[in-house]
Each structure stands twice: as structure tokens, then as C-alpha cells.
Chain A
């Protein structure tokens, strides 16, 4: 379970793909932790290529959101499939994490 990163202006975009489940969530967490430096101020997690996520994966996203809040960084997720968006809503994650339809929209929102 790898995480690739790109930078657009001052925003770090982290992206992963496939399934994030109880079997690989730990690996996802390690890869995400390694990708996000403590000096980052704006981070977008792009879920466009993620086909499935369970509570084990949500846990990693919540931990990331918490740790970014501590370092006073802005955080958003983008490009969720309909099913993943529904899980976000059921879990109340859409109330505490900014969710955007596209990467560009997320980057614009973090800039503002």
C-alpha cells in the first residue's frame, strides 16, 4: 500500500490506490506518516483511485487529521467515490474533515 506525493504551490497532495482495509491499514498509515512532514501547512489526500475503505482506513485518516490539526496545518480529502462518501457521512467524518469533489477544488479551498 503505497502513497505517492505531488506538490502544487504550497500544498502537498498525497495519493493512494486500491483497497484500504484491515489487512493493509497499518502499511497505509506508515506510508502516509512518512509522506507528510511536520513542516507541511496544507495537505490534500486524494482518494480518486481508492475503491474501498473500511473503519481501519478511516482510523488512519482520522489520526492524520488530528496530527495535522496539532501542527496547525489545513487538511482536506478529495475525489471520493459515492460509496466512500457515504461511509464518510455515516461516520460523521464530513463534519470534521473538509471533503471536496476534485483535487483543484480542494487546493483552492485550502489556499483561501
Chain B
């Protein structure tokens, strides 16, 4: 059994609500546990917000989100035409053990994605960033 979801969104923040609604419906259709819906929404938001904040010098751009559920695993690919950005190597790594007064504000998004997903891969292809995230679908 496999299922696919293909989605195109624009780089504006109010798209986040639409994405979360679509993910929720897809999760219901595929009988995902609630915590997987949460996890997928969160991973997508962190990646998409990064593209919105740092990917371009302005203007509206398109971000593609492709999801495939197959053999108990979910693969999510996010494709954007922003400046080259490899979150695995280019993102600052936050110190999640620092005391409160020394804790940096920000930088947590990518850290959360890496911790939540079982695999995260990046490639730059034909002028676009492709970020692939994989997680298992536990019932």
C-alpha cells in the first residue's frame, strides 16, 4: 500500500495553516497516529519557515512538498528555488545544554527536525534545494 501527497505553497506565513490542515486530512486518511501528524507538521513548518526567512531576497516563491507513505515509512521531500542551503551543514548548531542565561534564542528548528526524523538528506539539483526527511509510521 502506498499513498502520495503533492502540494505547492507560496512563501508567505499564512500558508502554514493551510499546510497543517492538509497534513491533518492526509494523516486521517492514512490512519496516522496523532503524534505523527504533529511531527510532520512541525518538521514541515521548520523547513518551510527557514526558506521563507532566508531563502530569497524578497518576492513570492513556490515551495513543493511531496510525501510518500510506503512500507510503514513516510518520506517527505521539500523543494525550493532559494539560495543554496544545506541545513545539515550550513545551519548553526544550538547548544541545548547551556544554562538559561547563555541559551541562544533561535537555531532550534533544524535541530528539532534532525532529532525527530530518522533520516534527513540534502541535495542541490538544477538550481533547487531538495531536502528529504524520512520517518517511520508507527501504529
Least Cβ distance of A29 to chain B in Å? 11
Q: How many residues in B have their beta carbons less than 8 Å from beta carbons of A? A: 30
Q: Which residues of A contact B100 (CB under 8 A)?
A: 65-66, 69, 96-97
- B16, A52: Cβ atoms under 8 Å? no
- Whether A56 is near chain B, meaning CB under 8 Å from some CB there, is yes
0/1 string, A12-32, CB within 8 A of B gives 1: 000000010111000000000
Q: With the chains together, A95 CA to B98 CA distance in Å?
A: 9
Query: Residues of B contacting A52 with CB < 8 Å?
Result: 20, 38, 41-42
Q: Is the CB of A83 within 8 A of B108?
A: no
Give the residue of B14, B17, B49, B111 whose beta carbon is less than 8 angstroms from that of A56. Answer: B49
Is the beta-carbon distance between A55 and B16 smaller than 8 angstroms? Answer: no
In the complex, are the beta carbons of A87 and B96 less than 8 A apart? no
Whether the pair B103, A62 counts as a contact (CB closer than 8 A) is yes
* Chain A residue at minimal CB-CB distance from B16: A23
Instruction: Pick from B34, B42, B99: contact of A87, CB below 8 A.
Output: B42
Question: Is A91 positioned at the interface, with any CB of B under 8 Å from its CB?
Answer: yes
Q: Is the CB of B35 within 8 A of A92?
A: no
Shortest B73–chain A CB gap in Å is 20
CA distance A29 to B17 in the complex (A): 19
Return the chain A residue nearest B14 by Cβ.
Answer: A23
| Interface CB pairs A-B, < 8 A, 28 | A21-B16, A21-B20, A22-B13, A23-B13, A23-B17, A52-B41, A52-B42, A54-B46, A54-B49, A55-B106, A56-B49, A58-B108, A59-B105, A62-B103, A66-B100, A66-B101, A66-B103, A69-B100, A83-B35, A83-B39, A86-B35, A87-B112, A91-B111, A92-B96, A96-B99, A96-B100, A96-B103, A97-B100
Chain A residues with CB under 8 Å of chain B are 19, 21-23, 52, 54-56, 58-59, 62-63, 65-66, 69, 82-83, 86-87, 90-92, 95-97
Q: Chain B interface (Cβ within 8 Å of chain A)?
A: 13-14, 16-17, 20, 34-35, 38-39, 41-42, 45-46, 49, 52, 96-101, 103, 105-106, 108-109, 111-112, 115-116
